[in-house]
Amino acid sequence: MEKTIYIADDSAVTRMFITNIVKDVPSVKIFEFTNGEEVVTAIKRKIPDLLILDSVMPIKDGLSVLKELKDLNFNLPIIFCTADIQSTTKEKAIQLGISEFVNKPIQKDIIFDKVNMLLNL
Ligand SMILES: [Mg+2]
C-alpha cells in the first residue's frame, strides 16, 4: 500500500535533498511544503503516514506546528529536523510528541533508516 510523506522545510535545497533520499523508499508518495502554515492546512485535509518537519521556518515554525497538531489531537509519526544545538528545543519537541529527532545537516543514512522504521517497512 502506498504511504504518504509530507516534507515541510523552507529551504528548497533541503527539501530536494530529503526527497532524493526518501524517494528510494518503496511505494511512497512525497509532498513538499515551504512553511508550517501550508503543511498544517494539508494535514487537516489528509493526514500523512509520516511528517518530516523543519524547526526554523517562516510564517509558522516547527514547534508551532507541533503545538497545533497536538491541540487538534492529530496523532502521526513525525521526524523533527533542526540545527538547533539547544536542548530546550529538542525537549519541547519531545514533549509535543515527535517520534524521532534528526540533526542538521541531515545525514543520508540516518534519515533513510528513520523513515523506513516509522513507516514499518
Ligand atoms: Mg528552515
Question: What is the whole-number distance in angstroms between the Cα of residue 60 and the centre of ligand 1?
Answer: 11
Task: Judge whether 6 and 38 are in contact, CB under 8 Å.
Answer: no
| Predicted pLDDT of residue 25 | 87
Task: Cell 500500500: give the residue.
Answer: 1
Name the residue with higher pLDDT: 27 or 77: 77
Centre of ligand 1 from the C-alpha of residue 99, in Å: 19
61 Cα: distance to centroid of ligand 1 (angstroms): 8
Query: What is the CA(46)–ligand 1 centre distance, in A?
Result: 23
CATH of the domain at 66: 3.40.50.2300
Q: pLDDT band at 85, cuts 50/70/90?
A: confident
CA of 1 from ligand 1 middle (Å) equals 31
Give the range of the structural domain holding residue 23, as residue numbers without chain letter.
3-118
pTM: 0.96
Instruction: Domain count for the chain, please give it.
Output: 1
Close Cβ partners of 14 (under 8 Å, ≥ 6 residues apart): 54, 81, 104, 106
Ligand 1 center–CA 89 separation, angstroms:
14
Say how many Å lie between the CA of residue 81 and the centre of ligand 1. Answer: 9
pLDDT digits (tens, 9 = 90+) for 4-50: 999 999 999 999 999 999 998 888 999 999 999 999 999 999 999 99
Provide the 3-class DSSP secondary structure of residue 8: strand
